[in-house]
Amino acid sequence: MKTIEAIQEEIVEEFSLFEDWMQRYEHMIDLGKSLPLIKEEFKTDNYIIKGCQSKVWVHAALEDNKLNFTADSDAIITKGIIAILIRVFSAQHPKDILSANTDFIDQIGLKEHLSPTRANGLVSMIKQIKMYAVAFQTQLN
Partner 1 sequence: MFDVNLLRKDFPILSREVNGQPLVYLDNAATSQTPKQVVEVISDYYYRYNANIHRGVHKLSQEATDAYEKARATIQKHFNAEHPYEIILTAGTTESINCVASGYASLLKKGDELLISALEHHSNIVPWQMLCEKTGAQLKVIPMTLQGTLDMEAFDTLLNYKTQLVFVNHVSNALGTINHIQEIIEKSHAKGAKVLIDGAQASPHIKADVQALDVDYYVTSAHKLCGPTGVGMLYGKSELLNLLPAYQGGGEMIATVSFEKTTYAGLPHKFEAGTPNIAGGIAFGAALDYMNEIGFEVIAKYEAELLAYATTALEKIEGLKIYGEALEKTAVISFNVGSIHPYDIGSILDQMGIAVRTGHHCAQPIMDFYKIPGTVRASFSFYNTFEEIDLLEKGIRRAVAMLQ
Residues lying near partner 1 in the complex (CB under 8 A) are found at: 21-22, 25-26, 29, 53-55, 74-78, 112, 119
In the complex, the smallest distance separating the C-beta of residue 66 from partner 1, rounded to whole angstroms, is 32
107 vs 137 by CB, closer to partner 1: 107
73 vs 128 by CB, closer to partner 1: 73
DSSP for residue 41: G
Which residues have a catalytic role annotated? 52
Q: At residue 133, what are phi and psi to the nearest 5 degrees?
A: -60, -40
- Using DSSP's 3-state secondary structure scheme, residue 118 falls into coil
> What angle separates helix 21-33 from helix 4-16, to the nearest 10 degrees?
130
In the complex, the smallest distance separating the C-beta of residue 69 from partner 1, rounded to whole angstroms, is 21
34 vs 53 by CB, closer to partner 1: 53
Q: What is the largest CA-CA distance in the chain?
A: 46
In the complex, the smallest distance separating the C-beta of residue 63 from partner 1, rounded to whole angstroms, is 32
What is the rounded distance in angstroms from the CA atom of residue 30 to the CA atom of residue 69? 18
CA nearest neighbour of 7 among 29, 31, 23, 24: 31
